[in-house]
Amino acid sequence: MGDLVPDLTGKTFLVTGANTGIGKETLRGLAGRGARVVVAGRSEERTRAAISEIAAATGNDDLDFLPLDLGDLGSVRAAAQAFLASGERLDVLVNNAGLAGRRGMTASGFELAFGTNHVGPFLLTELLRDRIVETGPGRIVNVASTGHYRAPGIDWDAVRRPSVTRTAFDEYCVSKLANVLHARELGRRLEGTGVTTYSLHPGAVASDVWREVPFGVRHLMKLFMKSPEQGARTSLYCATSPAVDGVTGRYYDAEREKAPSKVVTDELAAELWERSEEWVRPALRG
């Protein structure tokens, strides 16, 4: 990774869901280049264990834990307020946390994958974006998936109901489509601010995001997947590479720009934005 990530001393990153898998390897890559990293997640025990391991491996102990449950918009607001109250800079936000293979509803009333993978990150981004603009130039990175190509669109009623498919994979794909659309519209809205946005497919990675998939199927899947370290390369590329300076709203795969699904249009991105704003408005107002 020596030629992939530039020296990041003096820069602050906030990464969600970095106690395992791709997020943990993203944290390792950032910490190894001297960045300060705030790691936001649900499990304090697991996150602090990951922080300790990476601090020991990299010699960088400027790593902190921030409690965050993306399925609970009250928790998202509290996490953002805690960060903002610190008064510190924020150069890059990496919306990495993801959930797959589980059915249900979030605490805030959304289909589980959609609420956790899109609505929570949308609110977190909205609450932190002014700090990123103030710090500037900055970046906002959404870890999406090639699964977004499978989504035919967004059923606005379905995202407010419990998951219906047996594996919840179709719902996961819709949530990843939302990640791509969010980055596209956010990039448009932030034009001229010095803050750029990116969405990406990290590769089919053998990570804990698949922990709810039945063991036999999961074992078979993992035979065809990348390691989390390989999977983190495109996240690190979008978060740090000078090669994408000034480029915004695009989708990446294997450290290259790639055309997203044909469903990804300016019109759908704008509609998702308007609906998402409406959904999170109570939490934005406090």
- Cα-Cα end-to-end distance for the chain: 42
Q: Contact, 112 vs 105, CB < 8 A?
A: yes
Other residues' Cβ atoms within 10 Å of the Cβ of residue 240: 25
Active site residues: 172
Distance CA 40, CA 65 (A): 6
